[in-house]
Amino acid sequence: MSRQVDDNSYSSANAIAVAGLNLALSYENAAVDRLEKRLSETIVPEVKQKIIHHLDQTKNQQERLRERIKVLGMGMEPTSDKGRLPIPEPPQKLKMMIESSSSDKEREVWESLNDLIVERAEAIMYRGGIEALQLLKADKKTIKALEKNLKEEEVFGDWLEKINPKIAKRLLTKQIEEKKQGKKKMTKKIQEEKEEEAVSPAAV
């Protein structure tokens, strides 16, 4: 009877673990899509390089999760579904206004902030998953796989938290300078046109 209870407890813990791993995998599936999109859109060279590196890490994270799901079994296959990443969603009218009126530099600042939010949320997810698996006395290799994923998310998140203010300042300062230069050129052009108009009657 005791053996049966132990087996049932193990099966229950395993099922919970596999469900949790598939949930984590669904978020990493979505993260790959977002990173690929960011890679095609970012205008900051150092961010592009970091995204290339983290995209490779994220694909490895997917593989770790898939491998542990297959090992633990329970008849569940690694999911191909994509979870919804925790990116703030403004009201539709405000979102349309932001998207239509923002410069590429402003959008980069906005998306870099979203990058950080996603990384911190993923780290929280992995910490919670590790704690749950430890309480369930789950497979140690699975815990180690999650710990490795967590470490990679924390490192990228720490880098984003450090670099984002610097990038924002650099991009927005450049944007202000470009606007000033644009105004100067416009003012100069208007002045030249006025001077041409003033000269034209005299020439006649």
> pLDDT tens for residues 48-86?
999 999 999 999 999 999 999 999 876 778 999 999 999
Q: Is the pLDDT of residue 10 over 60?
A: no
Residue 161 located in a structural domain: yes
Per-residue confidence (pLDDT) for residue 204, from 0 to 100 = 47
Domain with 131 in it: what CATH number? 1.20.1260.10
Q: What is the mean pLDDT of residues 138-158?
A: 95
Per-residue confidence (pLDDT) for residue 192, from 0 to 100 = 64
**What's the Rg (C-alpha) of the chain?**
26
> Would you list the DSSP string of 134-172?
HHTT--HHHHHHHHHHHHHHHHHHHHHHHHHHHHHHHHH
Residue 7 located in a structural domain: yes
Q: Is the pLDDT of residue 183 over 50?
A: yes
Total number of domains in the chain: 1
User: Where residue 41 falls among pLDDT bands split at 50, 70, 90?
Assistant: very high
Residue 196 located in a structural domain: no
Q: What is the residue-averaged pLDDT of the chain?
A: 88
Range of the domain at 174: 2-179
Q: 0.75 cut: is pTM over it? A: yes
